Amino acid sequence: MSAMARKLLVLNAGSSSLKFKIFGLNPFAAGMGGMFDRIGDAANCTLKASAPAEAPGSKGRKWELKIPAKDHVGAMESIMDFIKENVSSAFSREVVAVGHRIVHGLDLSQPALLNEKTIDKIRQAAVLAPLHNPPGLQGIDAAQRVFSGVPQVAVFDTAFHQTMPPHAYMYGLPYDLYEKHQIRRYGFHGTSHKYLAEQAAEMLGKPLSETNVITCHLGNGSSIAAVQGGRCIDTSMGMTPLEGLLMGTRSGDMDPAVVLHVQKQLGLSVQETDTLLNKKSGLLGLTGSNDLRTVIEGAHKGEPRSALGLAMFVYRVQKYIGSYTAALQGKVDAVVFSAGIGENSSLIRGLILQPMQAMGLIVDAAANDATVGGRQGDISTPTSPVRLLVIPTDEELSIAQQTLQVTG
């Protein structure tokens, strides 16, 4: 195999999906990416993929194919057939490393080379992430069958937040629960927050170690992090992704006694309460839609619940920016907006930022309106004491870079 052909594969397995992205290593460049969706549902199982505009041969081509896959191993095999046909027939020999996005890594603070010990740790963490880690393990199993002998690396959503100090990650519960059951705050979206902090330092022209930022990853799932000199010191999600901001279908912060009350008064089981808080709450529960675009439309039409959902979403983000400004002792170089909402909605950014002028967050309306649809930019006025940055997140790229740091 020529050095030119060496490739890295990034995999992100969900409960019924398997996302993939190929990276060329000589030179390092993103290649085709795609997603197998509705795995296990033979009638609707689809493989969608697209090649980057600059890819030789396939130039921006898009594919959508109906292919049945009964499980993640079947999906992985079909992805391999598809890549061999459309990218390179020698693909299985060209892949020199595989990087997996794994949601929960307990106290692991670095990407981990996969072996029996690290896979066991991911299994242990499944107690705290029952919806997320088992699919990750299925993705690992599928890739190990296809690429036997190729080094594989787990990149954890929790890892970047491991630098949080105990006063930020502990709950006010009996200490035993932490020692015996690992109940503490872990934080998620870490790969995205890490990438955003690094990109922000680059945009500001400062060394990462001297840069303080508040990174807002606002999508269907949303979280905010306070990053001091490249190290996370606090983040809004907790032991699970339920804590923090108001999200598409998750409640975010609330009095935990509400859980006891609904179980007692409404007779909800543990499973039903879990579904209520994670899948039926947030914007969906308040307004009927988990899509902020629909909520905005509703608010514009004068629907009171949509207006309420919108106001609550905005207010929670403002509260976290305020508290993380305090956590960073008032020394904030930039506030960063990213993910589906943060990258695309100048309206939401404006609603968040306009009332925060007195805190040194001064938004430039024209720059804000112009920085949408995957554009990167500074949306603050030249005199704003705090820079306001929009940075499209790229978790796959970060996973690829972190995988290479482990495999060399």
Per-residue binding string, ligand ADP, 270-299, x by CB under 6 A, is ---------------------xxx--x---
Phi and psi (nearest 5°) for 50?
-145, 150
Site for ligand ADP in 183-202 (CB under 6 A): none
Contact 183, 386 (CB under 8 A): no
Cα–Cα distance measured from residue 7 to residue 23, given in angstroms and rounded to the nearest whole number: 6
Cα–Cα distance measured from residue 181 to residue 127, given in angstroms and rounded to the nearest whole number: 10
Can you tell me which residue has the tokens 């027939």?
Answer: 89
Answer yes or no: is 342 a known binding residue. Answer: yes
Cα–Cα distance measured from residue 401 to residue 291, given in angstroms and rounded to the nearest whole number: 31
Q: Which is nearer to ligand ADP, 112 or 351 (CB)?
A: 351
Minimum Å gap between C-beta 7 and ligand ADP is 25
Segment lying near ligand ADP (by CB under 6 A), choices 99-107, 113-121, 152-160, 214-222: 214-222
Minimum Å gap between C-beta 60 and ligand ADP is 21
Answer yes or no: is 220 a known binding residue. Answer: yes
Q: Which is nearer to ligand ADP, 91 or 337 (CB)?
A: 337
Binding-site size, ligand ADP (CB under 6 A):
13
Contact 133, 118 (CB under 8 A): no
Secondary structure of residue 156 in the 3-state scheme? strand
First CA to last CA across the chain, in angstroms? 18
Answer yes or no: is 309 a known binding residue. Answer: no
Site for ligand ADP in 308-327 (CB under 6 A): none
Contact 68, 91 (CB under 8 A): no
Closest CA to 339 of 168, 208, 242, 225: 225
Cα–Cα distance measured from residue 312 to residue 222, given in angstroms and rounded to the nearest whole number: 13
Minimum Å gap between C-beta 25 and ligand ADP is 27
Minimum Å gap between C-beta 346 and ligand ADP is 8
Q: Which is nearer to ligand ADP, 135 or 221 (CB)?
A: 221
Cα–Cα distance measured from residue 397 to residue 407, given in angstroms and rounded to the nearest whole number: 15
Answer yes or no: is 280 a known binding residue. Answer: no
Count of positions (residues) in the chain: 408
Secondary structure of residue 11 in the 3-state scheme? strand
Q: Contact between 14 and ligand ADP (CB under 6 A)?
A: no
Q: Which is nearer to ligand ADP, 74 or 139 (CB)?
A: 139
Looking at 37, 107, 141, 157, which residue is catalytic? 157
Q: Which is nearer to ligand ADP, 162 or 344 (CB)?
A: 344
Q: Provide the pairing of β-strand 152-156 with 112-113.
A: antiparallel
Active site residue 157: yes
Contact 101, 122 (CB under 8 A): no
**DSSP alpha helices (H): ranges in 158-241?**
166-169, 175-181, 190-204
Answer yes or no: is 37 a known binding residue. Answer: no
Q: Which is nearer to ligand ADP, 210 or 369 (CB)?
A: 369
| 306 token code pair | 């949509």
Q: Contact between 17 and ligand ADP (CB under 6 A)?
A: no
Minimum Å gap between C-beta 146 and ligand ADP is 26
Minimum Å gap between C-beta 109 and ligand ADP is 24
Q: Contact between 221 and ligand ADP (CB under 6 A)?
A: yes
Which residue type, as a one-letter code, is found at position 90?
A: A
Minimum Å gap between C-beta 104 and ligand ADP is 17
Q: Contact between 248 and ligand ADP (CB under 6 A)?
A: yes
Per-residue binding string, ligand ADP, 138-177, x by CB under 6 A, is ----------------------------------------
Which residue type, as a one-letter code, is found at position 234?
A: D
Residue 81: enclosing H or E segment and its boundaries?
helix 72-86
Per-residue binding string, ligand ADP, 324-353, x by CB under 6 A, is ---------------xxx--xx--------
Cα–Cα distance measured from residue 141 to residue 119, given in angstroms and rounded to the nearest whole number: 10
Cα–Cα distance measured from residue 210 to residue 2, given in angstroms and rounded to the nearest whole number: 41
Cα–Cα distance measured from residue 299 to residue 306, given in angstroms and rounded to the nearest whole number: 5
Q: Which residue is nearest to ligand ADP (CB)?
A: 340
Binding site for ligand ADP (CB under 6 A): 219-221, 248, 291-293, 296, 339-341, 344-345
Query: Which residues are the active-site residues?
Result: 157
Residues in the annotated binding site for substrate:
101
Residues in the annotated binding site:
12, 19, 101, 217-221, 291-293, 340-344, 395
